[in-house]
Chains A and B, each alone.
Chain A
Amino acid sequence: AQSVTQLDSQVPVFEEAPVELRCNYSSSVSVYLFWYVQYPNQGLQLLLKYLSGSTLVKGINGFEAEFNKSQTSFHLRKPSVHISDTAEYFCAVSEADAGNQFYFGTGTSLTVIP
C-alpha cells in the first residue's frame, strides 16, 4: 500500500508571500496525484491533479504543483497567498490499475497572516 507524507502539519505565511506545501509518496508504480483543499466544517474540494504528461500542473485559485518522479514528490506552490487561502490542504495518491483506492496525507494547515 501507498503511504503519503505531508511533513509540515502547520505552515504560517504572511499575506502576499510565496508558499510551498510538501507531499511525498512511497510507491514507484504509476500513480495519479491530487491536491485537495478543505475549509472549516466543509468537504474537500479538488485543487488540481496530475494524471500524465507535463509535470507542472496548474489548478484553481492560482495554485500549481510539480510532479517529480525520481523524488516521488508532488509539492504544491502558490507565488502570492491571500487571506482566503487559509485552510487545510491534503495530498492524495491513487495507483494506476488500482484506481479505487486513494491514499491521503495527514494534511497541512496553511495560515495566512495579514
Chain B
Amino acid sequence: DGGITQSPKYLFRKEGQNVTLSCEQNLNHDAMYWYRQDPGQGLRLIYYSQIVNDFQKGDIAEGYSVSREKKESFPLTVTSAQKNPTAFYLCASKDELTGDNSPLHFGNGTRLTVT
C-alpha cells in the first residue's frame, strides 16, 4: 500500500541536541510538507518542498532545517536553536500532477519530547 511513513513514532532528546525526524513516501508525490501540532493551535507549517533540491520556509521555520535530496524523502532536523521543540510533528505530501485541488496526505506523526 502507498503511504507516508514517519519514524520513529516517539522520540526523546536532551535539551541542546539536534534531532532528525524521518519522512518517507511511496506515493510518487512531488510536494512534501512538515507541520507542527500543539494542543489548541492546530497545524502550523514549518517547511515545504515542491520539488527535489528545493524547499521553502513556512510560518515557523526558525530552529528547523530540512533537505530534499530524493523525491521520496523529506527529513526534518530540529536544532538546538528551537526554543520549544516538544510537539507532535506531522509530515504530509501532495500530488501536484492532479492540480491545485489535490488534498494533503499525512503520515502518522512523530511525538518529540525534549527535556
Contacts and interface: CB of A to CB of B under 8 A. Distances in A.
Interface string B88-115: 1010101000011111111111010000
B109 A90 contact: no
Given A43-B109, A100-B31, A100-B50, A106 B40 contact: yes
A105 B90 contact: no
Contacts of A114: none
Contacts, number: 65
Contact of B103 (A41, A49, A96, A98): A49
Contacts of B43: 44, 90, 104
Q: How large is the interface on A (under 10, 10 to 19, 20 to 34, 35 or more residues)?
A: 20 to 34
B2 interface: no
Interface string B35-54: 00000111101001010000
Interface of B: 4, 6, 9, 31, 33, 40-43, 45, 48, 50, 88, 90, 92, 94, 99-109, 111
Interface of A: 9, 32, 34, 36, 41-46, 49, 51-52, 90, 92, 94, 96-102, 104-107
